[in-house]
Amino acid sequence: MGYPNALPHDLPKQIAHDVFVVHGCIKPSAVVRFTRNMTIVRDKGQLTLINAVRMNEAGLKALEQLGEVAHVLRLGPAHGRDDPFYVDRYKADFWSFEGGVTYTQPKISKALTEGGALPFSNAKLFAFKHTHEPEGAILLERTPERSKGLLLTCDAVQSYRDGYPQTNWLARRVLPRIGFTQETLIPKMWLKFAVKNQQAIKAEFNQLLTLDFDQLIGAHGTFVEQGAYEEVKRAFDNKFS
């Protein structure tokens, strides 16, 4: 089958113990290109690709040097364009919530359920229940270097505190004007188009804020190395207070 071409991206960069990020992009039109991230979690030599971003051959070679690509995990409905490429190339298991309609391929090998199994250890899955299509977040719990966890998100929480990687000049001008300012945020566009019930999603964010984390990486934007909980709490207060 045909796959979407690889778009500009960085090589995998380590951001925490056995956690890496690839800053890539998406092009909704010929003149706009904005940030998109793939997170890679390594556990016992096996790699899980979260919010998959197709890489070129140099990127794939660097990826393969990190370990065996064994799992692909779709955390949100809008980030499925490159899942089939990785599942087919590496014969990887595909993990996703059931019920998504934006991307219906590849076939789900392991269904994601809140509190259910994940392809790596020391982690727990949080599921939003009041979105039009399934979306979740993952807490990577304490590592050898840190007492608090790392929160992996898709579109529900994003941070542009440190800029807009792999984003062209036009998108850099447009993004702040449509709500993607240089801070950690709950995007108003996500609330408008992805959420079914605003009051119910507010309660779910309150539940999310019971998790113990200090770092954050989403499917767009940049890595928050410390202070992430306070930044997500501020984003919550800005949207729902």
Domain boundaries, the chain: 13-240
What confidence tens digit (pLDDT) does each residue in 188-209 have? 999 999 999 999 999 999 999 9
What pLDDT, on the 0 to 100 scale, is given for residue 147? 74
Fold of 13-240: Metallo-beta-lactamase; Chain A (3.60.15)
What pLDDT, on the 0 to 100 scale, is given for residue 29? 87
What pLDDT, on the 0 to 100 scale, is given for residue 1? 66
In degrees, rounded to 5, the angle at the alpha carbon of residue 32 between the alpha carbons of residues 35 and 232 is 30
What pLDDT, on the 0 to 100 scale, is given for residue 160? 97
For the chain, count helices (H), then strands (E): 6, 13
What confidence tens digit (pLDDT) does each residue in 100-111 have? 999 999 999 999
DSSP 8-state class, residue 154: S
What confidence tens digit (pLDDT) does each residue in 102-148 have? 999 999 999 999 989 999 999 999 999 999 999 999 999 977 667 79
Q: The whole model's pTM is what?
A: 0.95
Cα 8 from Cα 6, distance rounded (Å): 7
